[in-house]
Chains A and B, each alone.
Chain A
Amino acid sequence: MSNEAKLWTAPAVIVVGFCIVMLLGIAQPSLHTTMFTIGLYALIALPLGLIYGQGGTISMAQGSFAALGAYTSAILCTRFGFSPTLSVIPAVVMPACVAFLIARPILRLPELSLALVTLSLGTVVAVGLQRGGDFTGSFVGLSGAPPLPLVGNHPVWVATTLWAVVLIVVIMYSHFVHSARGRSLNAIRVDRLLAESMGVNVPFDLSIMFAIAAGIAGLAGWFYVHTLGYIAPDSLGAHTSANILFMVVLGGRRAVLGPVLGATFFTFANDFLPGAETHGLFFGTILVLILLLSPDGILSPQAMRVLRRLFSRRDRVSRARLPGTAEVTEASR
C-alpha cells in the first residue's frame, strides 16, 4: 500500500459508511439517532484505541472523563450563563487536566492494577457528582443544558456535526500512527526500556496521551449533554467505560477503525437485542469467541488471515463445483 493510501483509507471508510447510513436514514429516520449514538461511542473509544492499542496503557476511565466534560459544560451553561460555544473549551480542558495530573503515578502500574485504578476513578467521580448537592444536581443530575450551537436539535445535523469531529479524529489518528511519535508510542507498548533507549520520555509522553484521550472523551460528553439536554450521574461513567473497553477490544485495538467498528457493533446489537438481561450474556459470549479466534479483535492482521483462509476455501470449493474448472483448481494446488 502506498503511503498516501495508508493515511487516507480509514478516513475514506468513515465518510462512505456515514453517507450510506444517513441515506438509509431517509427511509428509516431512527437511524439518524442511532448514528449519533455510534458517533458518541466512537469518539470516546477512538482515543482509548490510541492509548491502549498503540501505547499499551489500558484505561477504564473514558466514560468518567466524558461525564466530567458533560458536567463541566452543563454547570457552566445552566449556572453561569455560558453558551455551549464557549463551554466546549473547559469541557475538553477540565478532563484533560485531571487526567494529566493523575497520570504520572498511575501509569507506572501493570495492566490489571491500572484497569482497577482507572475504574475506581469512575466511582470517585460518580460519588462526587451524587454528593455534589445543588451544584451537580446530586442523584437527579442536571437538566436544561442548551442545545448545540448552529445545529440545534435536528438529528441529521447533530449526527453530521458529531461525525465530522469523528472524521477529524480519525484523520489525525491515522497520521499519528505513521509518524515518529506513533512509533515512539508503539515502542512504549512493546518495551519501555526500548522506548527510553530511543529517546522517548516515557512518563511524560504517556501522561500527554492519557490527557488527550480524556479531553476527547470530554468533547463527547459535551455533545451528549447538549444534544440530550440533561445529564445524570449514571448517564455516562463506569458502565460506559466498561462498554467502551469492550468496543475497542472487540473491534480491534491496534487498528485505527477498530473502536469505530466496535461502537457500531455494540450500538446495533444493543438496539436489536430484546431484554436488557440478555445483553451481558450476549456481549460476554461474543467477546470470548472473538478473543479466542483473534486476540487483537476483529480488525487485526490475524483475523484478516482467518477470514482470507475461510473465503479462499469456499472459493476453491465453489470453483471446483463448476464443470471445467476442477482441473485448474487441482493443478494450482
Chain B
Amino acid sequence: MTLSATGVSIRFGGLVALNNVAVSVSPGEILGLVGPNGAGKTTLFNCLTGVSKPQAGKVQLEGRDISRLSLADRVRLGIGRTFQTPRLDLGSSVADAVMLGFNPRLRQSIVSACLPFSKARRTEDDLSSRARQLIAEFQLTADPDSSAGELSLGHLRLLEVARALASEPRYLLLDEPAAGIDDVDRDLLADAIRNAAARGLGVLLVEHNVGFVAELSHRMVALVSGEVVAEGKPAYVVADPQVVAAYLGVHHVAA
C-alpha cells in the first residue's frame, strides 16, 4: 500500500541524474526529500509522476506497476503534484485556475460541456463553490474572480497546492512549496500538509529549508548527486555527516 520507486536510474546525456534510487511513501505519511541543488529531487518527482521515463527501475502504485502510464493517467489514479516553478494560466481568474484541479476526477463529455441545462452545468456551480472554499482556506485572495497574475509567488505556490488537493489525490508530491513564501503562508502550508496526511494522503515533500521539512516529516530521505545517502528519522538524517557536508558545501559555494 505505497507509492514507490525501485532501482530508478535516469541519465541526461552523460549526466547521471538518478542512480538506482528507491523511495516509497505510505498513506498518511509525510516523507521529506532533501538534497543540494541538482541532486535529482525534481527528476525523481518527474519519474514518479510520469513526466520523465527512467531508463531503469520501476514505479509502483499500491502494488501495480505504473511505469508505462502517462502523466495524465497517473494523475487520474491519484498522484497529484505541484511544480517547482508554478505552472498556470496567469491570465485566468484565481477561481478558474483552482477549478482546473477538479478535472482529473471529472469525466465530462464534450457534448455535456457544450449544452445548456446539462449535467456539466449543474456540476459547474458545485465546482465553483468548492474552489472558492479552497481559496478561502488557503487565503489566496479576497476576490476569487481577480486575475491569477496578481498573486505573489508565495500565493501561486499555495494555489498549486490547493489545485492539487482539488484533484483528491491519494499521494501528493510537493516540489519546494515553501520557497519564497512568508511566515503566515508557511504556517498555512504546514497545516494543510498535516491535515492532508491526517486524512490518509501520502505526502512527498521536497524542500531546501531543512528545518521546515524536519519538523513536518515523519521520515526523511537525503539525495546527493542522484543517490540516496541517508534515510530515516528526521533527526538522524539531518545529523548525517554526508548530508551536513552536502549542505555545508552548498553554503560554502554560495558564500
Q: Give the shortest distance, in Å, between A175 (CB) and chain B (any CB).
A: 5
Return the chain A residue nearest B89 by Cβ.
A190
A179–B103 touching, CB < 8 Å? no
On chain B, the residues within 8 Å of A176 by CB distance are 110, 113-114
B114–A175 touching, CB < 8 Å? yes
Q: Give the shortest distance, in Å, between A103 (CB) and chain B (any CB).
A: 15
Q: Quick check: which of B10-18, B119-127, B234-242 contacts chain A, the rest being far away?
A: B119-127
Q: Quick check: which of A91-99, A196-204, A324-332 contacts chain B, the rest being far away?
A: A196-204
A180 on the B face (CB < 8 A): yes
B124–A178 touching, CB < 8 Å? yes
The listed residue (B75, B96, B116) touching A199 by CB distance below 8 A is B75
On chain A, the residues within 8 Å of B51 by CB distance are 193, 197
A197–B49 touching, CB < 8 Å? yes
Return the chain B residue nearest A205 by Cβ.
B110
On chain B, the residues within 8 Å of A101 by CB distance are none
- Please, what's the 1-or-0 string for A93-127, where 1 marks a CB less than 8 Å from any CB in chain B? 00000000000000000000000000000000000
On chain B, the residues within 8 Å of A190 by CB distance are 87-89
- Please, what's the 1-or-0 string for B80-92, where 1 marks a CB less than 8 Å from any CB in chain A? 0101000111001
Q: Give the shortest distance, in Å, between B93 (CB) and chain A (any CB).
A: 11
Q: What CA separation (Å) do A182 and B114 show in the bound complex?
A: 9
Return the chain B residue nearest A208 by Cβ.
B110
The listed residue (B49, B103, B105) touching A200 by CB distance below 8 A is B103
Q: Give the shortest distance, in Å, between B175 (CB) and chain A (any CB).
A: 12
B54 on the A face (CB < 8 A): no
On chain A, the residues within 8 Å of B118 by CB distance are 175
B110–A198 touching, CB < 8 Å? no
Size bin of chain A's contact surface: 20 to 34
B108 on the A face (CB < 8 A): yes
Given contacts A180-B127, A181-B110, A199-B103, contact A186 B72 (CB under 8 A): no
A51 on the B face (CB < 8 A): no
Total residue contacts A-B, CB cutoff 8 A: 95
B142 on the A face (CB < 8 A): no
- Please, what's the 1-or-0 string for A174-195, where 1 marks a CB less than 8 Å from any CB in chain B? 0110111111101101110110
The listed residue (B71, B96, B124) touching A196 by CB distance below 8 A is B71
B116–A175 touching, CB < 8 Å? yes
Return the chain A residue nearest B46 by Cβ.
A193
Return the chain A residue nearest B116 by Cβ.
A175
Q: What CA separation (Å) do A212 and B109 show in the bound complex?
A: 14
Q: What CA separation (Å) do A178 and B100 show in the bound complex?
A: 11
A171 on the B face (CB < 8 A): yes
On chain A, the residues within 8 Å of B116 by CB distance are 7, 171, 175
B193 on the A face (CB < 8 A): no
The listed residue (A175, A197, A198) touching B113 by CB distance below 8 A is A175
> Which DSSP category, helix, strand, loop or mixed, fits chain B's interface?
helix
Q: What CA separation (Å) do A117 and B76 show in the bound complex?
A: 34
B89–A198 touching, CB < 8 Å? no
A28 on the B face (CB < 8 A): no
The listed residue (B75, B76, B92, B108) touching A181 by CB distance below 8 A is B108
Q: Give the shortest distance, in Å, between A122 (CB) and chain B (any CB).
A: 26
Q: Give the shortest distance, in Å, between B79 (CB) and chain A (any CB).
A: 10
Q: Most chain-B CB neighbours within 10 Å: which of A175, A199, A202? A: A199
B70–A179 touching, CB < 8 Å? no
On chain A, the residues within 8 Å of B114 by CB distance are 172-173, 175-176, 179
B124–A200 touching, CB < 8 Å? no
On chain B, the residues within 8 Å of A194 by CB distance are 87-88
- Please, what's the 1-or-0 string for B39-51, where 1 marks a CB less than 8 Å from any CB in chain A? 0000000000101
On chain A, the residues within 8 Å of B189 by CB distance are none
A187–B110 touching, CB < 8 Å? no
- Please, what's the 1-or-0 string for A1-35, where 1 marks a CB less than 8 Å from any CB in chain B? 00100010000000000000000000000000000
- Please, what's the 1-or-0 string for B219-245, where 1 marks a CB less than 8 Å from any CB in chain A? 000000000000000000000000000
Q: What CA separation (Å) do A176 and B51 show in the bound complex?
A: 28
Q: What CA separation (Å) do A251 and B230 show in the bound complex?
A: 59
On chain B, the residues within 8 Å of A212 by CB distance are 110
B106–A198 touching, CB < 8 Å? no
Return the chain B residue nearest A198 by Cβ.
B103
Q: Most chain-A CB neighbours within 10 Å: which of B96, B108, B114? A: B114
Q: Most chain-A CB neighbours within 10 Å: which of B71, B102, B106? A: B71
Q: What CA separation (Å) do A171 and B92 show in the bound complex?
A: 21
On chain A, the residues within 8 Å of B121 by CB distance are 175
Residues of B in contact with A (beta carbons under 8 Å apart): 49, 51, 70-72, 75-76, 81, 83, 87-89, 92, 96, 99-106, 108, 110, 112-116, 118, 120-121, 123-125, 127-128, 167
List 19 contacting pairs A-B, 8 Å CB cutoff, sorted by A.
A172-B114, A172-B115, A175-B121, A176-B114, A179-B124, A180-B99, A180-B106, A181-B113, A191-B87, A193-B51, A193-B71, A196-B71, A197-B81, A198-B103, A199-B76, A199-B167, A202-B72, A208-B110, A212-B110
